[in-house]
Amino acid sequence: MAVPERILERIEALRGLAREAGSPLAEEVAWLCDSYLKLENNMQKLSRVSDRMQSQIMTLNDRLAAAAVTDTLTGLANRRGTMERLAVLEQDAESSGFAVMLADIDRFKAINDNHGHEVGDMALVEVARRLSVTLGDAGMIGRWGGEEFLAVLPVPDRDTAQGWIERLHDALRGAPIDSPEGPLAVRISSGACWHRPGRALMQTILYADRALYASKEAGRDCGLWWEEAGQAGGRA
Amino acid sequence: MAGLDPLTLDGTRSSPRVEGDPQAGVLRLSGDSYPENTFEFYAPLLRWLSALVEHGDGPLRLEIGLSYLNTGSIKSMMDMLDLLEEAHVAGRPVAVVWRCDPEDERAVELAGELLEDLTLPWEIARCGAA
């Protein structure tokens, strides 16, 4: 207990004076002195407990903030987390833009229907892992929703982005995904769009989504840029 | 105890359920405790407990089964425990039971910290909130 020395000294001096004065003053003063010390003790205990609670709340807040932007199944950023990252990139005035790629697992419903949702979840986790490992620090992959992933590619130009898109497709073409139901050949289709500064982010994502749709129409397991979605070129 | 009415308050999201039985000499709190005006909430409880201590000689028992307590509630627990400690020192049979969720180490730690300096008989029961 850390009652300041100067207060303790005066309390003890007061007790001495009261003892000399005799009862009932001595008892009353002793009671008051004890009460003061108990109060001081309680206050310190309360501060300690309250400080601990505050630090626990801060830790929980951090966890909550992380959970709010994380997809629980795959551990990737969820849609909110992905949008936050995109918003940060958009704020970069120096940037000449970046690429956004939307990827969707081909015939995912069939995986769920034929092998069950557990295997479907395993496929989602493995696709997320492969895309994320392949891209590494070059960008970020988020789970956009369902079986759809969004890759943010903050690279200098479209050609570099195209290289990454091809590597992301190849990450799934390389080897089937192991599952209790046997190896699964899982593929993605993708659509990409270069985000130009000044354009609304959601517009860029909408264009990438249209290109993704065009990839599905073109036979799946391929990628198209929005700028070329109506033409033959731009495939990954 | 004759003359003292039972004390019953329904719990809310932020305030505990309170059951005070003067015949049995028991005050029981359960739920969460973070009322907006904590001291206003606890003032009548402290008055009730004080009356129970002053106007009788039967055994007293405080049962705390609170999951979350804000700082004001912790201060109010200290005030109640101080009241009972004084009664115990004066020779009254007193017991305190603090029920904690066995999974919640923080709650167990808090209970321990508030009870450790007391000489009255106390127990931390790891059996979930009452």
CA distance A152 to A135: 10
Give the SS3 label for residue A136.
helix
- pLDDT: is B101 or A63 the higher one? A63
Over residues B19-36, mean pLDDT: 96
Mutation test of the interface with chain A: which of B39, B68, B75, B76, choosing the one with the most A Cβ atoms within 10 A? B75
Q: What is the pLDDT of residue A94?
A: 74
Write the residue in B74, B75, B106 that is nearest to A56 by C-beta.
B106
Q: What percent of chain B has pLDDT over 90?
A: 83
Q: What is the pLDDT of residue A23?
A: 78
The ipTM assigned to this model is: 0.77
CB-based contact B113 A45, cutoff 8 Å: yes
Q: What is the pLDDT of residue B2?
A: 54
Q: Which of residues 58-87 of A touch B (CB under 8 A)?
A: none
Write the residue in B82, B110, B117 that is nearest to A49 by C-beta.
B110
Q: How far is B93 from chain A (nearest CA, A)?
A: 22
Mutation test of the interface with chain B: which of A1, A49, A57, choosing the one with the most B Cβ atoms within 10 A? A49
CB-based contact B78 A46, cutoff 8 Å: yes
**Residue A236: Cβ-neighbour burial (10 angstroms; 0-12, 13-18, 19+):** buried
Instruction: Using the predicted structure, report yes or no on whether residue A48 has a pLDDT greater than 50.
Output: yes
CA-nearest of B51, B52, B29 to B41 is B29
Residues of A serving a catalytic function are 147
pLDDT range class, residue B129, cuts 50, 70, 90: very low
Q: What is the pLDDT of residue B27?
A: 97
Q: In this structure, are residues A208 and A102 in contact, taking their beta carbons and an 8 Å threshold?
A: yes
In this prediction the pTM is 0.71
Q: In this structure, are residues A111 and A120 in contact, taking their beta carbons and an 8 Å threshold?
A: yes
